[in-house]
A and B are shown apart, each in its own frame.
Chain A
Amino acid sequence: MSTQPAADVDAGEVDRLEEIARRIRVELVRAVNHARAGHLGGPLSAADLLAALYFHVLRIRPEDPDWPDRDRFILSKGHSSIGLYAAMALRGYFPVEELMTFDAAHSRLQGHPDMTRLPGLDMSTGSLGMGISAGMGMALGARLTGRDSRTYVLLGDGECQEGEVWEAAMAAARHGLDNLVAIVDHNKLQQYGWPGDGPDGRIPPQVPGELVAKWTAFRWRVVEVDGHDMAAILRVLAEAGRGDGRPVAVIAHTVKGKGVSFMEGHYFWHTRAIKPEEFAIAMADLGEPLPTGQGAPA
């Protein structure tokens, strides 16, 4: 929750987006609980960023998902698909009820995003490290075809261990793609990670400052933001569009599992089945308490 919206950001808009982020969390926890499959920690950490992107930043037309002049968005950390689906459903790409088909057979909402099935997905992802390369292609393509569309790519911090991320970072800087914005959901946890004296005996995917130093060394313009402070996110993303000949990396400091008390900061909530009593706590944490006596509607 942001305490004081900056003067340049409309307070009402911040409230609206915070409520949307809350609804994204509610819907994604419901869908994962219903499917008995899927990821939780990563989608929850990205919910505020997704709300800002889909409801404020991206120039898109949900009723015309293939609109050629739209901005592009790629969820490079494709395992957080359910967060993206929730944002897209709330934005009007498809009915919110369809979220309950997540991971079911014949669903358009595949475990990892499949652009051949769901209109509005700009790229298929799920194998980490690839989205940023495709995003670079879109940014380059926009330039070559004379479009002013921007391309936003959301990566995980664990994902930034993939060599391909740095191949894309190198090449995008070479091409001076200032219409490309990489947002790193820096929640300080990956799936399992290195053993050490961090929480639950695992340590973060990077040491403090490492991501900023790396993207800077690859000649990107780097900005840091609290990825749960809506006003700050809006300010940073507005500024990210101001081209100076360099691609932009937004390092968003987040908490894995954000919004659900018992998931926050624990690597093992990366993906795990929710027990009925846990589901009830999660819903209460997210401001949507279940009617008393009701467990998980599986």
Chain B
Amino acid sequence: MTLTMGRPMREIFGETVAELADDDPRIVMLDGDVGSSTRADIFEKAHPDRYLQMGIAEQNMMGVAAGLATMGLIPFISTFVSFAVVRPLDQIRVLIAQTGLNVKITPGYAGLFTGQTGMSHIIVDDMSIMRAMPGMVTVSPADDVEARQVLRWAAAYDGPCYVRLVRDATARFFGDDYRFEFGEAVTVREGRDVTLISTGTQLPRVVEAADLLAADGVDAHVVHVPTIKPLDVAAIVAAAQRTGRVITVEEHSVIGGLGGAVAEALAEHHPTVVNRIGFQDLYPESGPNDALLEIYGLSAPRVADQVRRLLGRS
């Protein structure tokens, strides 16, 4: 499988929210002084009156978003994942999640591709945290095509949601005919030997790993889970039944994210051996994107190696 590069999700973010705002006067953009990075500046150009610079003050920004939502506006949040999730976590919990207010937490810089920053910016437990919070839904699109659709869905969805976006260009996986359905997993490759479940921009690398495994006679079934919460339990149980063996792969901590969610669901509904590939209990370091994928075992060849080892094929 050879894929072309997609456009950076951050550009899709600025453009799509700007387009949505063309038709919906309730949409506003709140920026934590990083619009030039998250590309909220694209929105600012199109709708200068609805671009609201909040300064470097993320806790306040979340509170302002809650207040705006009570006035019937639909705030989208522009900052980095770490400063959108952990810095203002209490404000999100008390003012946004429990209240069910219509705030779109849509940060860029998810995962490793943060422009060589280090542990302050690379946060790999964001899905665990947001998923655990009552009232918060969590979506992790795989490429630019899906990101655009997720953002359109988010604007229409009535309530708080967390959508994690990636800074740099990543492989485009989906065709123009793809339709994102909130809460639904997508089977992207049929196989019989092992089920690989992935989310976010790890998906293309997992499909490439499946191709490498096929060359060794391992026929992998691959499921993409864009919506981490609510989880598509039925699809995951069906995929587990099909192969009897599940391995999750995510550019995220193995604790509490996709792997955690899948393990919880299968433990209750269809006990299956589940292995989780992703970050162990650690803080990733800074470095060039490709180097980091190698170091943390998330490049396609490294994923294939780990799957072989887990299946006793190496």
Listed in ascending order, the chain A residues whose CB lies under 8 Å from chain B are: 35, 37-38, 78, 103-107, 110-112, 114, 117, 124-129, 158-159, 161-163, 190-195, 205, 267-268, 270-271
Contacts and interface: CB of A to CB of B under 8 A. Distances in A.
Name the prevailing secondary structure of the A interface residues. Answer: loop
19 contacts: A35-B116, A38-B116, A78-B120, A103-B286, A105-B285, A105-B291, A105-B292, A105-B295, A106-B287, A110-B285, A112-B117, A114-B118, A114-B119, A126-B120, A158-B55, A158-B56, A192-B31, A195-B44, A268-B36
B33 interface: yes
Given A126-B117, A193-B53, 14 more contacts: A37-B116, A104-B287, A105-B295, A110-B119, A111-B117, A126-B120, A163-B57, A163-B60, A190-B33, A191-B37, A191-B56, A192-B36, A192-B53, A195-B51
A111 B286 CA distance: 6
A248 B82 CA distance: 31
B288 interface: yes
Interface residues of B, number: 33
Contacts of A205: 55
Nearest to B41: A192
| Pairs A-B, 6 closest by C-beta atoms | A126-B120, A105-B287, A37-B116, A110-B118, A111-B286, A161-B55
Contacts of A117: 285
B214 to A, nearest CB: 30
Given A106-B287, A159-B56, A161-B57, A125 B120 contact: yes
A125 to B, nearest CB: 7
Contacts of A111: 115-118, 121, 286
Nearest to A35: B116
B8 to A, nearest CB: 15
A127 B87 contact: yes
B34 interface: yes
A279 to B, nearest CB: 18
Nearest to B87: A127
Interface in B1-50: 31, 33-37, 41, 44, 48
B279 interface: no
Interface in B167-201: none
Contacts of A129: 56
Contacts of A104: 287-288, 291
Nearest to B37: A191
Contacts of B118: 110-112, 114, 126
A193 B87 CA distance: 20
Query: Most A CB atoms within 10 A — which of B48, B51, B60, B121?
Result: B121
Contacts of A35: 116
B83 interface: yes
A106 B55 contact: no
Nearest to B58: A162
